Copies of this chain bind each other. A is one copy, B any other.
Amino acid sequence: MNFSYSEKVQALQNKLTEFMDEYVYPNEKLYHEQIDKNDPFSKIPPIMEELKEKAKQHGLWNLFLPESEYGAGLTNLEYAPLCEIMGRSAIAPEVFNCAAPDTGNMEVLVRYGTEAHKEQWLKPLLAGEIRSCFSMTEPDVASSDATNIQASIVRDGDEYVINGTKWWSSGAGDPRCKIAIVMGKNDPSAPTHEQQSMILVPLDAPGVTIKRILPVFGYDHAPHGHAEIEYKNVRVPASNMLWGEGKGFAIAQGRLGPGRIHHCMRTIGAAERALEEMCKRVQNRVAFGKRLSDQGVIQEWIAEARIEIEQARLLTLKAAYMMDTVGNKEAKTEIAMIKVIAPNMALKIIDRAIQAFGAAGVSEDTPLAASWANIRTLRLADGPDEVHKRAIARYELKKYR
């Protein structure tokens, strides 16, 4: 459990930080300005493709994806501090082709995809040419309990027929999004955890309709977009099935581990940035005769932020280390722990940074409000806090039974 960053990692950290300073932060504003206000999901801000090209040139591409010939050869533990740096900017993860939900989807294709799947979908995803989405959550049932999921995937000859309505299929608003991994019920009579399957569905298949893009606290997150998608008698070749019928839960378990920890790593980066912004701001504002940074309450916020970030980072590194050494499944309690603590930690820090900034904090003039809204969804996505806490508790109780 060695958390020191190796020379290789330190070199990448430096390179990444320089890249962020030189290319990413200075273009955050431009990125948003390049979005077409009248048709925000129509095209990608050109600066993004420029930045992606630059990242490739700098060898900062596909740094995720451990244990695979397709990745950069980094372990989860090595990737963590890099992913954290990317999390400091809302636009950065895509720049390095390390954005959700693509990383999770690529992991699924690497592990469970056939050669044909890899050729058709994994390669362009790895190249940053297309994007993907993950269609699991449904509006009509409490999807936190995945056994509730109602979409159907029914075999009909050489095809599967998919029916159901999904929402929060993030990234489906993006015009480059070409493929969805859809979870649905394949066999309602099977044992509970073998009823579900995952299948590949091209977004241009007949019967796939994006009903609307869901806002997050007023943000449309264009051009990414969280979509509500109707799948109505959608037919795909039987070969699109991932791993096999009834393997949906097993894949979910494998997919969600890396996906969750990536979110946590990025969240720590977002918390660090909020703390940094707060520290800078409070040394430059005076109220009631002294700098805000001399106010005891502000100092308390800063100290608590530093303590909580340090703690969350160490626990995230531990989870990453366990994924590397004993596997995602054995690491599931540690993953659950960081899944709970990282967003809650960051939300508290960002909220206090907002408070320190005053009205500027809730506006577009700082990254804080957008960061808060984004991270607020992480207390729900991939399972709400309460479901993860329940799992942690049950694991703990088992020790004493």
Contacts and interface: CB of A to CB of B under 8 A. Distances in A.
Given A215-B218, A287-B142, A287-B144, A315 B306 contact: no
Contacts of A381: 359
B137 A359 contact: yes
Interface residues on chain A, size class: 35 or more
Contact of A218 (B295, B359, B370): B370
A34 interface: no
Contacts of A304: 389
A303 B359 contact: no
Contacts of A144: 287, 358
Interface string A324-366: 0000000000100100110000000000001100111111110
Number of copies: 4
Contacts of A168: 359
Contact of A299 (B280, B311, B384, B393): B393
A189 interface: no
B384 A373 contact: no
Contact of A373 (B217, B297, B314, B334): B217
Interface stretch (A1-9, A113-121, A194-202): A1-9
Among A288, A306, A315, A397, residue most surrounded by chain B Cβ atoms (within 10 Å): A397
B218 A302 contact: no
A174 interface: no
A205 interface: no
A376 interface: yes
Contact of A315 (B302, B311, B385): B311
Nearest to A351: B376
Given A220-B218, A314-B311, A318-B310, A362 B358 contact: no
A390 interface: yes
A81 to B, nearest CB: 12
Contacts of A18: none
B214 A363 contact: yes
Contacts of A364: 214-215
A369 B217 contact: yes
A372 interface: yes
A385 B355 contact: yes
A304 B111 CA distance: 33
Contacts of A275: 396
A279 interface: yes
A27 B205 CA distance: 37
Interface in A43-71: none
Given A215-B218, A376-B362, A341 B4 contact: no
A287 B372 CA distance: 27
A310 B315 contact: yes
A41 interface: no
A386 interface: yes
A389 B300 contact: yes
Contacts of A305: 396
22 contacts: A2-B2, A3-B318, A137-B359, A142-B285, A143-B358, A144-B287, A148-B287, A217-B370, A275-B396, A279-B397, A283-B401, A288-B387, A288-B390, A295-B296, A296-B298, A297-B386, A298-B393, A299-B390, A303-B388, A355-B380, A355-B384, A361-B380
Q: Which 4 residue pairs of A and B lie closest in terms of their CB atoms, listed nearest first? A: A218-B218, A218-B219, A296-B296, A299-B393
Interface of A: 1-4, 38, 137, 139, 141-145, 148, 167-168, 214-220, 275-276, 279-280, 282-283, 285-288, 292-293, 295-300, 302-307, 310-312, 314-315, 318, 334, 337, 340-341, 354-355, 358-365, 369-370, 372-373, 376-377, 379-381, 384-394, 396-397, 399-401
